[in-house]
Structures are given as C-alpha cells and as structure tokens.
Amino acid sequence: MLPDISAITRHRRPRWRLSLTMLGAMLLVVACAPGNGTNPTAVKPGGRVTVGSWQEQDSLLSCNITAAASHACAYINPAMEGLLTVKANQDPLPNNPKLSDYWVPELATQVPTLENGSVKVSGDKMDVIWKLRRGVKWQDGVPFTSKDVKATFEFWWLKYRDKNPTPLVSTSGWDQVEGVETPDDYTAIVHFHIVYAAYLTLGTGPYGILPDHLLEQVWAKTGDITHDKVTVNIPGGYNGSDTLDKIMVGTGPFMFKEWVTGDHLTLVRNPRWWGGGGRPYLNEIRVKFDSDANQELNELRTNAIDMGLDLRPSLLPPLSRLSDVTTVTILDSASEHVDINLHNTFLKDVTLRKAILMAIDRQKIVDTLLLGKTVVPPDAWMCIQTGAWCLDPNAKHSPYDPAAANKLLDDAGYKLQDSGDCKGFRTDPQGRCVRLHLITTTLPLREEQEIVIASDLQSIGVEIIKPFANVPSSRMFGSCTSGGVIYSHNFDLALYTNNYSYPAEPDSLAYTAYHSSQIPTDVNGCAGQNTTYISDPQLDQALDQARLSVRLSDRKDKYIAAQRRLADLIPEIPLYQAVDVEAYNKKLGGYKGNEFWWMNQTADWYINQ
C-alpha cells in the first residue's frame, strides 16, 4: 500500500517577517474562476513573493522545447499558457477518471473529447477541434487568435518536419499532424494522419502555444529560436531584443521583466490578463537562484525566500521545525532511476544488467535517504500514479538479492579476482575488468545515492570508478548538440529522475524514452529522449499500437505488453517513485500543489492579512 504523503502539514511560528512588498490598500474578493478552488475571502492586492530554485537553467526553452527541465517550466509557467492546463492535486477527480478529467481549459474554452464532439474519428484518421478563448492578448498587446495555434504546430513539425533549425528535445506526437485548419479566429482544427491517443499533450501546458508574430521574426532569419533575436515591447515588462531562450512573451497572469544570470528572474503582474476577478493579486514574483536545496531551507528559515521549489524528503525533519512554513509532499508520476547505456561493452549483456538490478538495496535507499516517504516501483514503471490505469496487474518487482546476483554472474562466466589489476572485482567472460562510470547531478541527495549504489555493486564484484564525475544539471540535461550528457549517450550509468510530461498519459514518457525512433543522434537533429539506446521490435510495436485509440480500454493491453518487455530488457533501474517537496511561508495564500508544473495557478496567489 502506498504511504499517505499527500497531506499538507501546517506549522506556526510566533513571529512573522516575509519579504513581501505590500502595495495597494484596496480589498478584493477572491473570484472563483473555472478551475479556481480558492474560497472567497478578503484579499489585499499587491506584494512580492520570492521563490527559491536551486537549478538555474541556461535557457527558458528547457521547459519541454529544447530539454525537459522542471525548474525551467516553473519560471515560465506564470507567463506562458497553453490551450489547457492541469488540475491541481487538491482538486477532486471523479471515480475512474478519463484522461480529459485531469485538464482544465486555459486558452481553449473546453477540453475536446469524443463525448463533446470535438474529437472526430474517421477510419484511421482523426480531427481535434479547439474552440478558443476570446478577448485574450499577448503581453505585448497583439491579439491571440487561431493563427497562433496554427503557427505553433508549424513550428514543431509542419514547417520544417525533421529538419527543424531549433534543437528540439522531441517531435513525438507533433509528427502525427498533417495540417491545421483555421476557419475563423477562434477555431483551430488539427488534422491527424492517424488516430492519435495522446492528442491532449500537444499545445497544452506551459509553452503550449507560441506567438505567431514572434515566430515570424525568427522564420525571416535562420528559423532557430535559440539563435535569432526578436524585438519585443511589453508595457510594464521587458523591452528590447534577445533570443526566445532568454525572454518570453505570453498570455499568462505574469509578464517577463528581467533575468539576471546567477541571481534572479523577475515576473510582474499582467494587468490585462484575461482571467478576471482582479487577478493576479501579486505585483511581482521573483525567482531567486540558489546553489542547492539546503540553501533554500536556510533561506526559508531566515525569510530570505517565501517558497522553496524541489526540496527533498531528507529535509522534512528540519522543515517541520519551521513553525511559519507549510510543507507539501506529492507523490509523482515519475521515478528516480539509473539509465543504462546499452552500447557499453559490458552493459549490453542483460545478465549483468539483471545482476545490478538485484544488487541495489532500493528499499534501504527509500528508508534511509527518503525517510520512507515513497515506494520502490515495478521494474517497468511506466504506468504509475496518474498512469496507474495501465499498470500490469502482474507487474514484476525484482527483490534485493545480492546472493542471487553473485550466482547469476558466476554462472555467466564473470570471475571474481583475488589478485592483479582487478583484485576484489570481476572480469567478464573475455577477461576484461568490469569497471563502470556512474554520473549524476551535483545534488547532495543524489551524491548520497551514488555512494550506496557503488557500495552495493562492489558486493557483487562490479567496480564503480571513483571519484564520481558529477556535473551541473544544465550539463546533464543539455541537448546533444550542446554536449548534454544523457542525450549524447556520454555515460555508462546515469542517475536522475524521469517523469510523465503530462498527466495520466504514458505516451508522454514511454514513447519518447523507449521507442527506437526516439534515440537522439546527429542525423535526427538530436530529437528524442531514448537515452539508453534501447531498440526492440516487440517493444516498438506495443508502443505504436497503444497510440492508436483514444479509448483507455483499447490501450491498456498494449501498455501491459510494453511493461513486460521492458522488465525483460532492463534498460534502466528504477530506484524509487519520485516525491515533490515544496515549502512556503503560511502568509502566502492561494497555493495549490501540482506534480507536473510548479508555480501553477499563480494568479490565485495572495498575501494573507
């Protein structure tokens, strides 16, 4: 049974001091907009909230355009909107929810489904009709229309297809679109050349829709939005020229003002936001860049920040002693795991991979480093949490069994050496010392996990080379065009968290991570997130077929087949189901947690009086 870690624990401290600039004296009433669960209460508008982030990104586009970095999505979420956004974790779902139940309209006016007639299937093709919100403007004053929706699909696929000048992290899903029709300014019809199950993942969430008028500036040059500067004028916000990986123009409740590298990023209130109700209430959100999660903890203690993002379960004890701080823990549709490079001389042998899986005491990691706040997932973890609808009822859970792992290696001809260069470790059947590099980011928790893993693997005669060559997150997750570690396959074993990009949709993880077409290479422009080199016809077939129906009942069997094949192939080792820990001063009202995109629903944030 999963531990109950979804509760919000509140603590009080007698004295309060918060770095909020109190501006304005007029009292408002919190308006209940669609998807806004805030109870009506007296709210004084104004003030500033400072949010700590320990993973400053090199590019704003690292939010699911050129990379998949959660911290980047946090910065841009208050400014850049999509057709839909996700419900907060506190918002109730119906029993046996459909995928559409996880979403609420943002720039669209409804979630398109078969039931409401906005999804139309004809043979082996499909159309999705998006009905758009009226009266919305980009923050530089240009009206939002269906032209922006069409331009977004053109950017991702239709204009350049697999020759995009921008180094995209993946075009999966976008490449199933054959055209976009715009019969009027407030209707966009997306034509798919197949029945594409994951249609709700396209054009939704932060950076869901991009501004046509800025894309046109880039398309008039090289077409690379990381390279070509655009000129923007946001009244009250940023004015000037830069590339779209350094600035942004959205439709959201907050507008980009400045990014001071190494220090902070500032977002200011959008007085023309379409959401109404006097929102957003805050005047400013400042993201402060910290060195690590421990610095965030210290700054929460001293009130230098008002919210800390991406804290770790190991910090829950000291967080509990901060009496004016609310701590939120959310179990994620994600797994901390070890990627295995299947092109490595040793790791291409599934026997060695299986022995490594059995040799790591994952439950000990959960109990000691994660304080028991999560669980060890199945060997193939692609259907967990919001994706549990497709979980294999007989999912394989390999036990911790170093004795069995040693026997497996003995029987396969891996010999433990008592002398020579490999003394204390094994040689493979060809007589080569089994030595592997393990790499991760410079995060204290991961560095502790590395020590445990190296010790456990030593117990079966597999040597992890020391010292560890850990790198900053920007280096770890950079595109292969910029030498990013995992997308360049420049590792033996890589430790990090992988996650669903969208709620309840396994395709958003499984296809990009495991399908052979998604292996990033120079030839395909580094598109895709298959970092392990896994390439298996049976697995590809199951993942392909799982995309071809919008009905969950038709897809489940295909995902079960994919899970069973993954459990046999072992391209990765899941350590534990990932956990989000966020903490904020209790003077901040209107907060709702969200596992997919932090700093969601910031329009509802306000300062308690």
DSSP string, 349-392: -HHHHHHHHHHS-HHHHHHHHSTT-S----SS-SS-GGGGGG--
Per-residue pLDDT, averaged over 388-393, amounts to 95
User: Is the pLDDT reported for residue 44 higher than 70?
Assistant: yes
- Contact yes or no for 205/82 (Cβ under 8 A): yes
Per-residue pLDDT band for 477 (boundaries 50, 70, 90) equals confident
pLDDT at 1 (0 to 100): 32
C-alpha to C-alpha distance for 47 and 36, rounded to whole angstroms = 21
pLDDT digits (tens, 9 = 90+) for 444-462: 889 999 999 999 999 999 9
- Answer for the pair 495, 336: CB distance below 8 angstroms, yes or no: yes
Confidence at 314, pLDDT banded by 50, 70, 90: confident
pLDDT at 434 over 70: yes
Q: How far apart are the first and last CA of the chain?
A: 40
d(CA 249, CA 467) in angstroms, rounded, equals 44
Question: Does the structure show a pLDDT above 50 at 409?
Answer: yes
Q: What pLDDT digit, counting tens, does each position of 227-237 carry?
A: 999 999 999 99
Radius of gyration of the chain measured on its C-alpha atoms: 24
User: 3-state secondary structure string, 288-324?
Assistant: EECCCHHHHHHHHHCCCCCEEEEECHHHHHHHHCCCC
What pLDDT, on the 0 to 100 scale, is given for residue 480? Answer: 78
In the chain, what are the domains? Answer: 1-76+252-324+586-609 (3.40.190.10), 80-226 (3.90.76.10), 333-579 (3.10.105.10)
pLDDT band at 41 (very low <50, low <70, confident <90, very high): low
Contact status, residue 152 vs residue 203, Cβ threshold 8 Å: yes
**In this predicted structure, what is the pLDDT of residue 435?**
98
Q: Residue 240 — left, alpha, or beta (φ > 0 → left; ψ -120 to 50 → alpha)?
A: left
**For residue 202, what is the DSSP state?**
S
pLDDT at 442: 84
Among the listed residues 121, 67, 13, 205, the one whose alpha carbon sits nearest the alpha carbon of residue 600: 205
Average pLDDT, the chain: 90
Percent with pLDDT over 70 in the chain: 93
**pLDDT value at 13 more than 80:** no
Strands 125-131 and 119-122, how do they pair?
antiparallel
Supply the pTM of this predicted model: 0.85
**pLDDT above 70 (res 35):** no
Are the CB atoms for 505 and 387 separated by under 8 Å? yes
CA pair distance 329, 334, nearest whole angstrom: 14
More confidently predicted of 472 and 378: 378
